[in-house]
Structure 1
Amino acid sequence: MQKKKRILLKVGSNTLTKETDNISRGKIEDIANQIAKLKDSCEFVIVSSGAIAVAKQFVKLESKQSEVFVKQALASIGQPHLMRIYQEIFREYGLLSSQCLLSYSDFKKSESKTNIVNTINVLAHNNYIPIINENDTVATDEIQFGDNDKLAALTAVLLEVDLLIIATNTHGIYTKESFQDKHPQTILEVGDFDALKNEVVRSRSSHGSGGMKSKIEAVSLSRNAKIETWIVNGLEDNFITNALENKVPFTKIK
């Protein structure tokens, strides 16, 4: 049997909500449909944000605690609902899914790292798609800044994936000049990574805590591990298959 290509797909809150105030079941259906089409040649690991966004749809917490603690509580409420949505939709496409909650301390201990790799390998071997999120009830790093970009890169490096796809709300990284002129042009392929850093416009996403700067920081981790990274527009339908077939503009960092 030919070895499947292992792809880590990172999906942020802006993508999952399609830049609205609600999780888009249609977007998760789009992801499931693409994975189902590619399952004979690719195996997927997903790093997904969205727990806080799900909870905000039906919960308003009153608290004298800081905003970070409120977000941690929202994540605790929203995470099982997010997984239920994934499982329901993936099942409709004949896909099996599982939940993995990780925190940064897990990447600092050799035993924890070994356990993560072994567990995900077993899941993948049995055709389960691991859906990873940060354990927000005990960690605050990605809540405050990152929207799981760094978590995705660390996981990609640990699992030695063939490709990291970061889904965002732009057609990759735009040149700074074209962005400021309001006629954005995608940087299609990156040769000089240091030069790329100078092109990045400092911005935050509307629902997540990331932005292009956090994606560049994530890419620096995957790049050091010689993992190719693509930054694609996850708001578009068929964004994975279209990128694989070079039908749409996106940024490729070799």
Structure 2
Amino acid sequence: MKRIVVKVGSAVLTQDGEIALERMHKLVTFLAQLRKKYELILVSSGAVAGGYTKLKLDRMVIANKQALAAIGQPALMHKYSKKFAQYNYITAQVLVTAANLNKEDDIARVKATIDTLIQNNVIPIVNENDATSTDELEVGDNDQLSAYIAKHTNSNMLIILSDIDAYYDEDPRKNDNAKARKILNYVSDTELDKDVTPHNIFATGGIVTKLKAAHYLLNVDIDMFLASGFDLDDVKSFMIDGIHKGGTLFTSKGN
């Protein structure tokens, strides 16, 4: 059975300063369907945003951000646990830091933990340990984290579900004629050097961090699929039905 990592961003999981419960429900319904066909690892943002729903602190202050993550992570996990339980799945929290992903022994332990969870039909939910990470030891964003997890767990594909529904030849917010690029085999240095422009106050990425994740995975022959997390039709069509209607596939395997 192939192994898939799914990363969902803060923009998808939050709305108006709250956890977007209806979108989370639709996400979990899709993931439960996906789990019937693939081994599944979920990389989920939303801890800081979840904490902010409980306590309004300035997230630009690092201590506040860490406190919000500490509040929000268990709240987020509780919501996931309840929703996955409707489909008879247990969930498990796996918190990692950049230091864990830079040491072979730690990488092996993380993989062994995730392997054991999957073998026992548990859904691993991975996030960076924002409550204790420092600037020097941050992965940086969950797009990068999900790419590292995909590589180090021998996964076959990373799916990024975002407020960005595909990679376009031009900025669709500025040009109505921008066209989505369905398949890419290469990410240029020019594209990687663009400014990071997250759409959501709780996001740390934007299209550039997704391109960096794709570039990293292309170099290790792992596919990445970028699609909307607001409307799951494209990712369902691609992953369940095998029909590429929308979204962008990054693959080193040619067209």
Instruction: Show the counterpart of 2:43.
Output: 47
Structure 1 residue 153, shift from structure 2 partner = 0.6
Q: Which one of 4, 7, 12 corresponds to residue 7 of structure 1?
A: 4
Which stretch shifts more, 230-239 or 159-168?
230-239
CA contact (8 A) 1:51 1:75 kept: yes
Matched residue SS, 2:18: coil
Instruction: Show the counterpart of 2:13.
Output: 16
Alignment partner of 1:250 is 2:247? yes
- Equivalent AA in structure 1 for residue 6 of structure 2: L
Instruction: Show the counterpart of 2:199.
Output: 205
Instruction: Give the distance between the partners of 1:71 and 1:212, measured in 2 at CA.
Output: 23
Instruction: Give the distance between the partners of 1:196 and 1:242, measured in 2 at CA.
Output: 31
Structure 1 residue 143, shift from structure 2 partner = 11
Aligned residues: 248
Q: Unaligned 5+ residue runs, structure 2?
A: none
Instruction: Give the distance between the partners of 1:205 and 1:50, measured in 2 at CA.
Output: 14
Instruction: Show the counterpart of 1:67.
Output: 61
Instruction: Give the distance between the partners of 1:234 and 1:142, measured in 2 at CA.
Output: 30
Q: Percent identity at matched positions? A: 29
Q: Which one of 153, 162, 176 corresponds to residue 182 of structure 1?
A: 176
Which stretch shifts more, 135-144 or 26-35?
135-144
Normalised to the residue count of structure 2, the TM-score between the two structures is 0.88
Alignment partner of 1:58 is 2:54? yes
Normalised to the residue count of structure 1, the TM-score between the two structures is 0.88
Instruction: Give the distance between the partners of 1:196 and 1:241, measured in 2 at CA.
Output: 31
Output aligned runs, 1:113-124, within 5 Å: 113-124=107-118
Instruction: Give the distance between the partners of 1:243 and 1:142, measured in 2 at CA.
Output: 38
Instruction: Give the distance between the partners of 1:25 and 1:196, measured in 2 at CA.
Output: 38
Which stretch shifts more, 42-51 or 188-197?
188-197
CA distance 1:249–1:170, change in 2 (3 Å): same
Structure 1 residue 181, shift from structure 2 partner = 1.7
Structure 1 residue 145, shift from structure 2 partner = 8.8
CA contact (8 A) 1:166 1:230 kept: yes
- Equivalent AA in structure 1 for residue 112 of structure 2: N
Instruction: Give the distance between the partners of 1:171 and 1:160, measured in 2 at CA.
Output: 26
CA contact (8 A) 1:165 1:231 kept: yes
Instruction: Show the counterpart of 1:214.
Output: 209
Structure 1 residue 226, shift from structure 2 partner = 0.6
Instruction: Give the distance between the partners of 2:36 and 2:109, measured in 1 at CA.
Output: 26
Structure 1 residue 240, shift from structure 2 partner = 3.1
RMSD over aligned Cα atoms: 2.5
CA distance 1:243–1:22, change in 2 (3 Å): farther
CA distance 1:237–1:219, change in 2 (3 Å): closer
More helix by share: 1
Structure 1 residue 180, shift from structure 2 partner = 3.0
CA contact (8 A) 1:146 1:211 kept: no
- Equivalent AA in structure 2 for residue 56 of structure 1: Y
CA distance 1:252–1:93, change in 2 (3 Å): same
Matched residue SS, 1:41: coil
Alignment partner of 1:91 is 2:70? no
Structure 1 residue 239, shift from structure 2 partner = 4.9
CA contact (8 A) 1:136 1:143 kept: no
Which stretch shifts more, 34-43 or 95-104?
34-43
